[in-house]
């Protein structure tokens, strides 16, 4: 069972910003893509890549903007892509920026592969989607092209254009007339999306390098710590954590997230010795542990983040999991004291069992 390809919410935000700018019904479009509006408040959160691709395609059709993905990509800034983007933009040279992108992309997006090809004096910055995402992603392909272009422009300058571009997807009307593709040699239905450029650009220093707020190793460690899971149940768990705030995610929604029928999803859970209700409990418990460790976050706010309508419901569930109330747990956490005689004493913080 393969994990669901996931992408950080920060990648989607320029698309949402463009929709808001043109007065599009953002909430309705997000709902159609099965994406919660609350996700926009959590840029480092993770959403299924196929739902993000669907949002771009739906937006392009409903708003009559054939090149929506390209326009959204034009307003995207690499430094706004969370820790991933800041690590890229903190590089010294274009070569370091590109190799950093290739090395860290799996911590930001598990549905795509990016690599650098160098042959003689020519180089190619390449991108390909993973298997299963072959259809319904032309807008996403255009969006990715703009992000790759911006990556090269970090060193080559804001007005630089590639001499040749390959697209995985089919031709789109007007694509060859818009900046930065006017006059560029284009090829479609290729094995990968690729920008061709002189190898000599790789040694250029970044024009607008940003300073990294913390040591490189610490930021990269944090990025990998919250990276998309490498297993199916883990990736579903990560998405459910984002969905909880707006509603209790029923099993139908979870199956849609996984891209399968409810029956298939239930079989997958059974193979992992899980029921769906137990999976949601695990997600709530793990998220509760994280939020309760923030001493100034109100308990009611935590309850809402976990999808509870009332604090009392959260308190009852938490006491069932741990034997103590959320407030008692927070006090113990602050004191580093887990010696109380409770059914869960000495086991904080751990995930709930799978049985």
- Encode 265-297: b = buried (16+ Cβ within 10 Å), e = exposed: bbebbeeeebebebbbbbbbbbbbbebbeeeee
Q: Tokens in use for 105?
A: 């992309």
Instruction: Annotate 76-124 with DSSP letters as a single string.
Output: --GGGSHHHHHHHHT-SBHHHHHHHHHHHHHHHBTTEEEEEEEETTEEE
What are the start-end ranges of the H helices in 157-261?
Answer: 216-225, 232-243, 251-258
Angstrom distance (rounded) from CA 165 to CA 179: 13
**HSE toward the beta carbon, residue 97, CA cutoff 13 A:** 32
Tell me the C-alpha distance between 140 and 138, whole Å. 5
Same domain, 169 and 203: yes
User: What one-character DSSP code corresponds to residue 323?
Assistant: S
Same domain, 327 and 211: no
Burial state string for 124-133 with b = 16 or more CB within 10 A and e = fewer than 16: bbbbbbeeeb
In total, how many domains does the chain have? 2
pTM score, whole prediction: 0.86
- Residue 85 and residue 197 share a domain: yes
**Contact at 8 Å (CB) between 308 and 314?**
yes
Co-location of 240 and 137 in the same domain: no
For residue 125, give the CATH number of its domain.
Answer: 3.90.1520
193 sits in which H/E element: strand 193-198
Same domain for 31 and 112: yes
CA distance 104 to 118: 20
Q: For residues 267 and 134, state if they share a domain.
A: no
8-state DSSP, 33: T
Domain hosting 303: range is 232-335
Task: Answer for the pair 172, 142: CB distance below 8 angstroms, yes or no.
Answer: yes
Residue 352 falls within a domain, yes or no?
no
Region of 9 (left: φ > 0; alpha: ψ -120 to 50; beta: rest) is alpha
Instruction: Please report how many Cα atoms fall inside a 13 Å half-sphere around the Cα of residue 7, on the Cβ side.
Output: 21
Angle between helices 138-156 and 94-108 (to 10 degrees): 150
**Per-residue confidence of the chain (355 residues) as pLDDT tens digits?**
788 899 999 999 999 999 999 999 999 999 999 888 888 999 999 999 999 999 999 999 999 999 999 999 999 999 989 899 999 998 999 999 999 999 999 999 999 999 999 999 999 999 998 866 656 689 999 999 999 999 999 999 999 999 999 999 999 999 988 888 999 999 999 999 999 999 999 999 998 766 655 566 788 898 999 999 988 889 999 999 888 877 678 898 888 888 889 999 999 999 989 999 999 999 999 999 989 989 899 999 999 989 898 999 999 999 999 999 999 998 887 777 655 433 333 333 444 544 3
The answer to the question of residue 354 being in a domain is no
């Amino acid at each position: 069972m393969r994990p669901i390809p996931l992408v950080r919410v920060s990648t989607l935000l320029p698309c949402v910003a463009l929709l808001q700018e043109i007065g599009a019904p953002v909430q309705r479009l997000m709902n159609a893509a099965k994406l919660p509006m609350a996700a926009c408040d959590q840029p480092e959160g993770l959403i299924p890549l196929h739902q993000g691709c669907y949002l771009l395609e739906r937006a392009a059709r409903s708003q009559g903007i054939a090149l929506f993905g390209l326009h959204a990509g034009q307003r995207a800034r690499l430094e706004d892509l969370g820790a991933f983007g800041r690590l890229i933009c903190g590089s010294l040279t274009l070569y370091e920026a590109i190799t950093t992108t290739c090395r860290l992309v799996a911590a930001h997006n598990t549905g795509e592969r990016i690599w650098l090809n160098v042959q003689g004096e020519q180089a190619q910055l390449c991108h390909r989607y993973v298997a299963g995402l072959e259809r319904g992603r032309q807008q996403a392909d255009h969006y990715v092209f703009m992000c790759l272009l911006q990556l090269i422009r970090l060193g080559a300058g804001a007005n630089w254009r590639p001499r040749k571009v390959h697209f995985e997807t089919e031709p789109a009307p007007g694509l060859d007339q818009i900046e930065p593709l006017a006059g560029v040699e284009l090829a479609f239905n290729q094995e990968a999306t690729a920008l061709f450029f002189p190898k000599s650009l790789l040694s250029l220093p970044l024009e607008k390098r940003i300073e990294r707020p913390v040591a490189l190793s610490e930021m990269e460690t944090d990025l990998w710590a919250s990276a998309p899971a490498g297993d199916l149940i883990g990736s579903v768990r990560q998405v459910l954590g984002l969905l909880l705030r707006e509603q209790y995610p029923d099993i139908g929604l979870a199956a849609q997230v996984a891209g399968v029928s409810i029956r298939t999803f239930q079989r997958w859970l059974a193979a992992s010795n899980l029921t769906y209700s137990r999976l949601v409990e695990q997600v709530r418990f793990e998220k509760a542990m994280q939020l309760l460790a923030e001493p100034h976050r109100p308990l009611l706010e935590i309850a809402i983040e976990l999808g509870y309508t009332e604090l009392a419901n959260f308190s009852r569930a938490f006491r069932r999991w741990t034997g103590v109330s959320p407030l008692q747990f927070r006090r113990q956490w602050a004191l580093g004291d887990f010696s109380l005689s409770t059914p869960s004493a000495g086991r904080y913080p751990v995930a709930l069992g799978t049985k």
